[in-house]
Structure 1
Amino acid sequence: MVVILAIVAAVPLANYIATSTSRTLFLSRSNDADWFATMAESPLQSGDIASLRELAVRYHQLYNTPVFVVDVDRRVIATSRSGVDVKAPDLKVALDSTLAGRLPAEPPALWPWRTGEMVVARPVVNNGRVLGAAVLRVPTEKGRDQVERGLLLLLGGLLIAIGAVVIGIVRPITRWVLRPLNDLDNATHQITRGALDTRVSTDGRAPELRRLGDSFNSMALSLHQARQREREFVADASHQLRTPLTSARIHIEGLSRLSPTARFALSDIDRLGRIVQRLSRLAGSDRPGDIEGSEAPLDLAQAVKERLVGWKAVYAADDLELIIGEMVPGGVAAELEVDDILDVLLDNASKYGAPPVEVSVTRDGTEVVMSVRDHGLGLGSRDLKKVGERFWRSAHHREMPGTGLGLAIVRSEAARVGGRVVARPPIGGGLVIEVRVPLIDDYED
């Protein structure tokens, strides 16, 4: 009887191993397919597919995974290998769903005796319109080998479990029964941390748990779609703002000849225009161009000190202490938007951190480092890795006003001049945000 019960218990476990391995492989390559879909958006509109084809070939060489992109008429636009047959049954099913704007169903479990490749497809979308699809043909040999090893381990565990039951060990069985609820609990925590692509398995479980898992997956999908709509909104809003800004600038230029005060309005209009351009780049609707670097280098320390004059008054009005630390001169690209970057960092420090807030500019090898440090609660190690992601906000700060775009813009601006953003916990607590940009060698102090 114990042997029969053990065998009955092993069946759903074996199914879980095969399904879990398949889902893990599918989800890991889904992120790559999403990236290819994003990169294919502009080439599908412009027709310039040379760079897209190069990316596909490089990805194939690196991960041994063929990839190709088709347009809405299922014509192969770019591929890493020739001979793609879009009428193959597995590809046809995936493309039917993807080109209709739906996510294809997850592939079946990776049993060792199954052969063939896994198809992972994602739609290429612009403003809600499907332009085509990015498709990966993922090899499954390693996944099937992993499942085979898992099944062998399961067989060994089955023999041990029989002995354990015989001698009265019930606790492991109880844990197995509760595993679906533990999976759901873990997935809920992942969702709260911002991992909106988290899903739970619904195969081989009781009807009640299957319905609960389906409801959870539907909720996670709705949240993921809402985040996508937020990104599309930013792209649309930045696009719609360009025309009225241009018109306003023309009118104010005419007024500036009559009123010197209008010149200040021109400066604000130009700055607002730059903000709209950055939002557009951040949303992925524009391809950032190369920086010409024709202007003279900018002394980052001097630019920071000039901007801090206004911020000291703002902090003083709120009874907050702002400390100006070490200011080491260093030349950086003139295109770096120092005012906007410093505004975001000091605004975040005043809202989410705690005084005193210290600003410094130093050199570190070939980099000039602008640091803003507060003495608040800081961030955990997982949250530190997410700093700068679009629409991401720490769980401690989600009840506070904000969009989650400030640090994303800072990271985008730093990257535009070859720099980067680093978040770290300093000694003594709090949080340090460092904007590290390349030092211009021919700059003279």
Structure 2
Amino acid sequence: MLRRLLFILVPLAFLLVAALALPLGTVLAQQETQRVYVDRLSDVGRFASLGDTAMRTGRLEALDSELTRYAELYGIDVAVADPAGEVVAASVPPNQAADLLDSSRVQAVMTPALAGFRPAPPTAVWPWESGPLVLAEPIGRDSEVAGVVVLVSPTDRLRASILYDWAGLLLLSLVPLTGLAASAWPLSRWVLRPVQRLDGATAAVAQGDLSVRADAAGGPPELRRLAESFNAMVDVVQKAVERQRAFVSDASHQLRNPLASLRLAVENLAPFLTGPDARTAHQDAVEEAMAMHRMLNSLLAMTRLESFSGAAPVDMDGVLAAHAGRWRVLGAQRGVTVETRVPGGLWLMAPPGGLGSVLDELMSNATRLSGGTRVELRVRSADGSDPGEESASEVAGDAAAESARGAPDMVELHVSDDGVGLTDEERAGALRRFWRAAKHQNTDGTGLGLAICAELIRGAGGELRLESGLPRPDGTGHGLDVFVRLPLAPAPRPDATHGAPHEAAHGAAHGATTGGATNGATDAIDADPSGASA
């Protein structure tokens, strides 16, 4: 940000100085030109007076002598011509005088002079112009023009003088320009320091750290007020979150025990119920109590999702080592084959402590609700190709190539089944809270599990959506594919992760079963594996 601001301020300083220096340089050139013009105008006026006397008396020798001495002394050629344009006297030989008056520049000023008018003075002589300064003065009185005096003055000294003035102006302009450039760095740092601190505090708050406050000291008053307003806003948010968490804690404490007592009391009524209708009503009451308990766990989980607003590197090898065996056992119990096609050594940016539980929920839904015979977990590179048995370095290379072309550095995970699947309308609503498919209304669950998974994945900078899955064995359609897209994480150096990758990944993936405070959302998913009905 500091470089960008300097990139704006320094060129603006140059433009400002140039905007002032250019008009001033033009004025200096015009003033120097006018000074020389006035000096030459007095000389040509004197020669016009001498020429008038010489042409009336017919004595041209004195005029020739005067013009020659003037040319020798100043290096300026002068010629006197009659009304017909013929040379009468000149400071150069006659053959050169004719060539001198034949130039287009001289003719341009002679013509109005022969008509009795003094030509307009030049505005400025520029250093890059090499032509002489030409002046013409009519000879005669009143309307009678007896001839014209033409003075052709070289401009070498004039152009050198203008260049000298411009050089002094340039040196003088460097003083404020250097001051502006030198002050731009500390001024930019003074202005941007509170912005950078505010940006850091905002990023920390976005990651879920509500204890961070922006430093309101230093910088412009407007930025100090902005930092104070930001701190006040974070105070309000922190208090609201603390009140919400306190309410959740109180509700959890106050509702769990009554629900447990209610369920126990209802179950204890079983020996006293003899009629079939009473037993049916009793079983419905037990199931409703259990559903209320699951609903309470899920609602508590939704209130803790703010703890998962960030992402951390997770080793897929560790996740599979901790969970794949459970998936296969669960699938075998339900007659479903579970396959995993994940290259080794793959690291992803995933919800801290949540990726394993998210995959648990997706696998539980696929084996329990799909009605199929096969569930597959596979990884696809960012360009959509199926890596099959390729290594994680090849998947990372594909993602890096996508990143080099401007695409996000992402990897796709797919949990696909060959079951009954969902219609387009059902897939559009399946990620909403409490959503249940019509064919799963009588299945245990709250309809929150898949919504929690989507929240966790989005909090880690990824995406979760539902698509068509594997083809059904009978060829009548496709099952469901839960598409999870997560950022690719660089594999840690061996010396930094020695002895830790499996432990870190296992803790991240299996942490939901430990009951930690930061794993509340995934606790509810594990406690209620049927939470989603997708």
TM range (shorter): 0.3 to 0.5
The answer to which structure, 1 or 2, has the higher relative contact order (CA under 8 A, 6+ apart) is: 2
Which of 1 and 2 has greater Rg? 2
TM-score norm. by structure 2 comes to 0.30
Q: Could you say which structure has the higher helix fraction?
A: 2
